Amino acid sequence: MLTLKNVSVGYTGADVVKNITLSVEQNENLSIIGPNGCGKTTLLKAVANLLPFKGDIEISGKPVHEMSHREVSLKIALLSQLSGIYFSYSVFDTVMMGRYLHIKDKFLGLPSDEDRESVMKTLEVMDLSKEKDRSITTLSGGQLQRVFLARTLVQEPEIILLDEPTNHLDLKYQIELIDFLKKWAQSGNRTVIGVLHDINLAMKLSDNILVMKDGEIQVHGKVNAVINDSLLRQVYDIDVARYMRESLKIWEELRS
Amino acid sequence: MKVKIIITICASLVVLVLGIALGSVNIPPGEIFAIIRYRLTGTEFTETVNNSTAIVWNLRLPRALLAFIAGGALSVSGAVMQSVLRNPLASSFTLGVSSGASLGAGIVILLGITIPVAAMFTLPVLGFAFGIGTIFLVIGFASKVDSQMDNNTIILTGMVFSLFVNAITTLMSALARQNLQQLILWQMGSFSMRGWEAIYILAPAVVAGVIFITHFNRELDIMTFGEEQAKTMGVNLKRVKWTLLILSAALTGGAIAFVGVIGFVDLVAPHIVRRIFGSSHRYVIPLSALFGGAFMVICDLVARTIIAPRDLPVGAVTAFLGTPFFAYIYFSKRAKKAQVR
């Protein structure tokens, strides 16, 4: 479904992502992990056609650079990290913006019943129905993150790219979000590619995992097959497994 | 929302009528309507009404309408610039439209240039051409140095070009001083003695511009969340951005070419409209036109009556009246929110 061949992406001449070759199938969830600055977000942006890249990116066999904005956005949606909000919109109106390409009234952009239904359904799933008339400037970071995720979902893409989607979410919503994304992908033969910092969540979300360091793929494969102590130590320069064991020990002590 | 919109439309019409009715001679609204009906349909009226015809039809009606149209055009332009550039302080003035128009006006006034075919419209034509020309240069230059046309690049380029063009006008003013006062008066802005011709040209252009910009309401909404978000949602960002920046510059350029440089309304009116009606551009654009238009009529009314028979510069009045009003609307709502929390 999504194929990357020798993709390199850079800013001002220097490549931040180097020579990535990768294939993601329909219905596959992929987590991308790696230390800060390793090129995870840059890779996502190149896939979303937001940054110029070298090499080939194809969606269902069609090169991204040959596709129009409209075509790409109907196939791929990206949930970026939160940035500043300058103007106040209601939660409902903000999510409705995700229907931009689906709304049939091209002059004033008035939504149809179908558009309203799609937004209301997604707000319900995201536990935001009660907040639909609230201004987004009054929401907490977690609520806002769910609003933007809802907006990404109503876009009805085939591939969803998530850049640290669990940021700002409390534990309950983090786990619920990951469970929801898995179901969402399975129910519609869709693909989720998420950049995550939490290795536990990454392993919970995905069938496959891509580990990056210094702009290159360190490892790509089934979670069970590739994640191990030495890999994590090598990538993060820290004994992740020991840290996890210590956390588990504290947890066990608390329980007893 | 519907009630608020109806109140705004009615209030704008009342302000427009007041703008015509009040002055050195107060004219009752009934007489104003009779005069307009007579001029449009030829319906007869009484002798007393006849005395006011010239004042209403030749002086006050075109003046109030011009103030309304110019105020509306400037406000809509400000609303677009703020949303497209994602900067609450942005306006066409930031991108050099007024500097360009001033240079055009300077060439006409200081050097006494006349375009044979345009004759009395030489100043508006050159003012508009230089204003729009400057913004074409700014956007063209910005897209050359940054193919992604980042907002910061556009704003910075606009400010640099604006300062550069201002320097040319200043230099020209220093070298050719004989008509300097006339240029300064033009730069202060005025609706006096512009006649119906300005309205015949400006009104259809502004109405068409506002309708066309309202058509882009969804793109404007999405763009306020950032360029990346807009692109991933399917907005053809470069095309939409070019179109909206040029349209908005044309609205400002057209207005100031006829009435001179009048600032402040483009900055403040959209913010007040957003405070009252929310940020959806389906409402912000047409209501900014109404609100900005009505606000400008009030400012012009104050400018021509407060020390009558002398006119004050409208640009100064917009700031004098607008600042406390803006502070009241902006901060009273904030205070209410703080109390709720």
B279–A101 CB contact, under 8 Å = no
d(CA B122, CA B119): 5
Q: How far is CA A30 from CA A190, A201, B173, B215, in A?
A: 12, 12, 66, 39
CB B221 to CB A93 under 8 A?
yes
Q: In chain B, which residues have their Cβ closer than 8 Å to the Cβ of A78? A: 228, 232
Q: Is B166's Cβ below 8 Å from some Cβ in A?
A: no
For chain B, the farthest-separated pair of C-alpha atoms sits apart, in whole angstroms, at 67
Whether B218 and A97 lie within 8 Å, measured CB to CB: yes
Identify all chain B residues contacting A49, using CB atoms and an 8 Å cutoff.
231
Task: Tell me if chain B has a CB within 8 Å of the CB of A225.
Answer: no
A50 contact residues in B (CB cutoff 8 A): 228, 231-232
Residues of chain B positioned with their CB less than 8 A from the CB of A45: 228
The contacts of residue A34 (CB under 8 Å, 6+ apart) are A40, A211, A212, A213, A218, A235
Whether residue A103 lies within 8 A of chain B, CB to CB, comes out as: yes
* Chain A contact present for B333, CB below 8 A: no
- SS3 category, A209: strand
CA atoms within 13 Å, Cβ hemisphere of A198: 15
Write out pLDDT tens, residues A113-138: 999 999 999 999 888 999 999 999 88
Contact B218 A109 (CB under 8 A): yes
Q: Which of B212, B214, B223, B233 to mutate to test the interface with A (most CBs of A within 10 A)?
A: B233
To the nearest whole Å, the CA of B205 is away from the closest chain A CA by 19
Interchain CB contact of B239 with A (< 8 Å): no
Average pLDDT over chain A, rounded to an integer: 88
Residue of A nearest to B283 (CA): A108
Q: Residue A133's closest chain B neighbor by CA?
A: B278
Q: Which of B279, B333, B341 to mutate to test the interface with A (most CBs of A within 10 A)?
A: B279
Per-residue pLDDT of chain B (341 residues; tens, 9 = 90+): 889 999 999 999 999 999 999 988 888 888 888 888 888 887 766 666 667 888 888 889 999 999 999 999 999 999 999 999 888 888 888 888 888 988 888 888 888 777 777 667 788 888 889 989 998 999 889 888 887 778 888 899 999 999 999 999 888 888 877 778 888 888 888 887 777 888 998 999 999 999 999 999 999 999 998 888 899 999 998 899 889 988 998 899 888 888 888 888 888 899 889 988 989 999 999 999 999 999 999 999 998 888 877 888 888 888 888 778 777 766 765 555 554 44
Across the interface, whether the CB atoms of B222 and A86 are under 8 A apart is answered: no
> Residue type at B7?
I
Tokens of A122: 């997604």
Give the C-alpha separation, B173 to B169, whole Å.
6
Q: Give the residue from chain B lying closest to A51, CA to CA.
A: B148
Q: What is the pLDDT of residue B340?
A: 43
pLDDT in tens, A150-185: 999 999 999 999 998 888 788 888 888 888 888 888
Strand A208-213 and strand A29-33: pairing? Answer: parallel
Residue A115 CA to chain centroid, in angstroms? 23
pLDDT, residue A184, reads 82
CB contact under 8 A, A88 and B218: no
Inter-chain touch B236–A69, beta carbons under 8 Å: yes
Report chain A residues whose CB lies below 8 A from the CB of B280. Answer: 89, 93
Chain B residues in contact with A108 by the CB 8 A cut-off are 214-215, 217, 282
* Interchain contact A87–B (C-beta under 8 A): yes
Longest CA–CA span in chain A (Å) reads 65
- How many CA atoms lie less than 13 Å away from B54 in the CB half-sphere? 1
Distance from A233 to chain B by nearest Cα, in Å? 34
Question: Any chain B CB within 8 A of the CB of A59?
Answer: no
Strand order in the sheet with A54-59: A14-24, A2-11, A54-59, A62-63
Q: Is A133 on the interface with B (CB under 8 A)?
A: no
Minimum-distance CB partner of B274 among A87, A90, A108: A87
Q: Write down the ipTM of this complex.
A: 0.86
A/B interface, count of CB pairs below 8 Å: 75
**Token pair for B229:** 């978000």
Q: Choose among B214, B235, B278: nearest Cβ to A100.
A: B235
Crossing angle (nearest 10°) for helices B122-145 and B151-175:
140
Contacts with A77 from chain B: Cβ below 8 Å: 232-233
Q: Test B233 with A70 for CB contact under 8 angstroms.
A: no
With CB atoms and an 8 Å threshold, state whether A109 touches B217.
Answer: yes
Neighbours of B25 (CB within 10 A): 10
User: Under an 8 A CB cutoff, do A87 and B83 touch?
Assistant: yes
Q: What is the distance between the alpha carbons of residues B6 and B15, in angstroms, rounded to a whole number?
A: 14
Judging by DSSP bridges, how do beta strands A54-59 and A2-11 pair with one another?
antiparallel
Q: Which of chain A's residues have a Cβ under 8 Å away from the Cβ of B221?
A: 89, 93, 97
Q: Cα distance from A192 to chain B (closest Cα, Å)?
A: 16
Residue, of A46 and A108, whose pLDDT is higher: A46
Check: pTM over 0.80? Answer yes or no: yes
Q: What pLDDT is recorded for position B20? A: 92
DSSP string, A95-138: HHGGGTTT---TTT----HHHHHHHHHHHHHTT-GGGTTSBGGG
pLDDT digits (tens, 9 = 90+) for A209-244: 999 999 999 889 888 888 888 888 888 888 877 887
